[in-house]
Amino acid sequence: MAIRAILSVFSAIVFMVAALPAAAQDASTPQGGGDSILVLDASGSMWGQIEGEAKITIAKRVLGDLLNDLPVERRLGLITYGHRRTGDCTDIEELAAIGADRGAISSAVQKLNPKGKTPMADSIKLAADKLKYTENKATVILVSDGIETCAPDPCGVAAALEAAGADFTVHVVGFDVTEENAQAQLRCIADNTGGQFVSASNAGELTQALEETVVAEPEAVTATKVRLRATELEGGLVIEEGLTWTVTPAGGGDAVFTEDGAGSVDIEVEPGTYDIAVIRPSDGLKGEQKAFKVAENTWKTVTIALTFPVEATVRAEPAGEGVAGVNVKAHWTGPDRRGDYIAIAEKGADKGSYISYRYTSQGNPAELRLPVEPGDYEIRYMLGRPIRVLASVDIKVTPATATLTAPETAIAGEEVDVEFTGPPAGSGDWVTVVKPDADDNKYNDYHYTRNGSPATIRMPLEAGEYELRFVQNNKKVLARKPITVTAALATIKGPETAIAGEEVEIKFTGPEASSGDWITVTAPDAPANKYNDYHYTRNGSPGTVRMPLEAGEYELRFVQGNSKIIARQPITVTEATATLSAKDTAIAGETVSVEFTGPAPGQGDWVTVIEPDAPDNKYTDYEYTRAGSPAEIRMPLDAGEYELRFVQANKKVLARRPISVTAATATLDAPASAKADSVADVTFTGPPVGQGDYIALSQLDQPDVKYLTYVYVRGGSPAKLRMPKEPGEYELRYIQGNKKVLARRPITVTP
């Protein structure tokens, strides 16, 4: 996700706080109706990186700026969680009371150091209590990057607060949340309180969501409305259809609203207290909310959970225990609802914790990778919405072992075969070579173990002491073997001088060739990875390398691994010269013989004719110098001043010679008329014959180079042209080089 998009998310907080409905400012609104509390996630996951920057760092910088921009009259409080202790679901703190000095709030944010869990539900409840939500309008803005990891269900808590509150709303900003169940839980909190949910899944979607739901001027609340919602289980999926709703005054009386076959519905009611009942006739599930209070000019949401038994089983194959990092099959039975998943977690871990998982929709059995650390774990069937452990089975993870066999020493850059044994290959299992003190997840060249033993590993380019490693799941080293890397030696031999653009034969010796080993020529002070022409050492000695086009001092290099120079030899490149000889004038379209001398032909060396001010790499007709002198060059079709050029390597002009091109002329002579479908003789004169010169018969309105019939002029005069079958007025044309008309003559075709 782009940082720019994340900044937009936090900018949304300002609008959420500042753009309260007009009713909040009404005289009927209790004192304090404009107060809000920001609940900020400071759990350990906020150290996650976005484009190389920690999410908490982004939050500190952006919130600091935004606090400076809030209107003076806007009262704001700040609650955060997970910032003081690891593994503690009570780590919730009010960092700034409602109405605190902006500088104090900003200072508190800057001191946050993410550490612990994500107790969202209890944090929202604390914010609601601070706002006196049962008496006043209360707005909470929750910014979280993940799912609840403590006991309470935040969806159910939000619904209960909405039901008990005067006008309680939670706006939720999902900060870099991509996991399906986590995003669903955050959305549920907003839905259960009539709030906004803003997801920063990408910049475009975020911008659109903010414009439509947050940035836009909110509608003034001038009616008393209730949104009726039912879910399958507490905090579960919203039921979209097939419900029968009944709303009656609390204590009895006629129903004020009924509807059959519905999902969620919005209704307008008079202020008061109501009993709300819902039934799903298809399976008889029922639910109710008694004594639901609705104040005047408020929008309330009531969410009723339809409860029913949900059962599951899970068993592991192999059962009981497995080797660290290998795959285990989890056979399961269960409701297989959207969002349900099979997870591996530490034994006794919180319900939201997992090490790896697969959704039940991905098949049965679910294949999961065991943790790389030995210990006691559980395989669980997890109800996804709401999150609940329906079944579990214990599994003991035993240590994985591996071996490595390789030479004691190797040459820098050498490719070494490393024999290995280890557990069945999983994603992120590899053999590599690194410094002995490197972190376990570091690598240089590597080989995935799934590709089989031996692993071919290229040694580092710098001599020294290293170790080969068998790494499991990108993070745990199962086996190590020391290896000494000695310096690589090489020689390079070429001429002491060469002509610019010349192809030079270079002899060399060196280590066994690997990818990225090459011979090149470049400036003496150029970085090791820079090159001009080059020759891969795997193609053998000698190698042919073309010299630069500019004269000067250079060096031949043997470069290893695209980055290390292991042999050098200076070489002087002298200026290349060339000559051109041709007549001074030529007729447009004429082919001219151009005598030339120059350096030994290389790729992209050619003779051409072009306007004098044209760039060096431009051309019209041309001939490669490898074809030998003279070059046969056809002149342009338009008269004017041109120059002949000897061009080296498609870009450098070594010789120039001016040539004047005079206009070409031609004549046509034919009978004034000819019969349809007959053959007429057309006598002509013209310039020296070139490719694409022909006599054509065209309709009067046809473009210059379009025709009905034609005859090439190389066949000589007269040209025999067949007339069209349709009588009418036509035109004879002498066309040069497929594009220029030199002469025209009308002809009438008679029946």
The confidence score (pLDDT) of residue 352 equals 74
pTM given for the model: 0.61
CATH number at 333 reads 2.60.40.1930
Report which of 713, 655, 513, 686 is spatially closest to residue 588, judged by C-alpha positions.
686
In this predicted model, which residue has the larger pLDDT, 236 or 544? 544
Looking at the fold, whether 471 and 539 belong to one and the same domain comes out as no
Is residue 17 pLDDT above 50, yes or no?
no
> pLDDT-based confidence at 353, cuts 50/70/90?
confident
Average pLDDT score over residue span 68-83: 78
Final residue belonging to a domain, choices 570, 591, 624: 570
pLDDT at 205 exceeding the cut of 70: no
Banded pLDDT at 149 (limits 50, 70, 90): confident
Question: Is the pLDDT reported for residue 404 higher than 60?
Answer: yes
Per-residue pLDDT band for 657 (boundaries 50, 70, 90) equals very high
* Residues 518 and 434 occupy one common structural domain: no
Would you place residue 221 in the very low, low, confident or very high pLDDT band (cuts 50, 70, 90)?
low
* 73 and 208 fall within a common domain: yes
Alpha-carbon gap, residue 174 to 200, rounded angstroms: 6
Same domain, 189 and 327: no
Q: What is the pLDDT of residue 25?
A: 35
CATH of the domain at 11: 3.40.50.410
> Looking at residue 523, which CATH number applies to its domain?
2.60.40
The vertex-277 CA angle with 272 and 282, nearest 5°, equals 155
DSSP structure string for 498-534: EETT-EEEEEEE-SPP-TT-EEEEE-TTS-TT--SSE
Whether the CB-CB separation of 338 and 384 falls below 8 Å is answered with yes
The pLDDT of residue 168 is: 86
Q: What is the pLDDT of residues 356-384, one digit of tens each?
A: 899 999 999 999 999 999 999 999 999 98
- Clarify whether residues 292 and 341 are in a common domain: no
For residue 518, what are its two tokens?
């090459």
Tell me which of 63-72, 141-150, 387-396, 624-633 is least confident: 63-72
Residue in this structure with the two tokens 């001074």, named with its chain if needed? 584
Predicted pLDDT at 218: 45
356 and 251 housed in the same domain: no
Q: What is the average per-residue pLDDT within 178-192?
A: 80
Domain that holds residue 205: 3-222
Q: Which two tokens stand for residue 653?
A: 């002009």
Same domain, 538 and 591: no
Position 299 scores a pLDDT of 79
State yes or no: pLDDT of 613 exceeds 80.
Answer: yes
- The pLDDT of 297-301, averaged and rounded, is 81
Q: How many domains is the chain partitioned into structurally?
A: 7
Q: Is the pLDDT of residue 29 over 80?
A: no
Looking at 550, 570, 590, the residue that finishes a domain is 570
If asked whether residues 385 and 419 sit together in one domain, one would say no
Answer yes or no: do 601 and 626 share one domain: yes
**For position 284, what pLDDT does the model report?**
93
Length of the chain (residues):
751
For residues 220 and 625, the model is more confident at 625
Of 613, 643, 662, the residue at which a domain comes to its end is 662
Of the two residues 498 and 293, the one the predictor is more confident about is 498
In DSSP terms, which residues pair with 565 in a beta bridge? 559
Residues 280 and 352 in one domain: no
The winner for highest mean pLDDT among 7-11, 73-77, 618-622 is 618-622
pLDDT the model gives residue 575: 96
pLDDT digit string, tens, across residues 306-329: 988 899 999 999 999 999 999 999
**Residue 537 and residue 543: Cα distance in Å, rounded?**
8
Residue 289 has pLDDT above 80, yes or no: yes
Q: End-to-end distance of the chain based on CA atoms, in angstroms?
A: 77
Query: What pLDDT is stored for residue 34 in this prediction?
Result: 61
Q: Note whether 650 and 607 are same-domain residues.
A: yes
Dist. CA 363–CA 438, nearest whole Å: 39
The more confidently predicted of residues 73 and 229 is: 229
Number of H helices, E strands in the chain: 7, 55
Between the alpha carbon of residue 323 and those of residues 75, 89, 393, 469, the distances in Å are 56, 32, 16, 19
Q: What stretch of H or E contains 576?
A: none
Q: What was the pLDDT predicted at 20?
A: 39
Query: Residues 16, 119: one domain?
Result: yes
The string of DSSP codes covering 38-98 is EEEE-SGGGG-EETTEEHHHHHHHHHHHHHHHS-TT--EEEEEESSS-TT-TT-EEEEE-T
Q: How many angstroms separate the CA atoms of 750 and 729, rounded?
A: 9
Residue 286 has pLDDT above 90, yes or no: yes
pLDDT of 483 strictly over 80 = yes
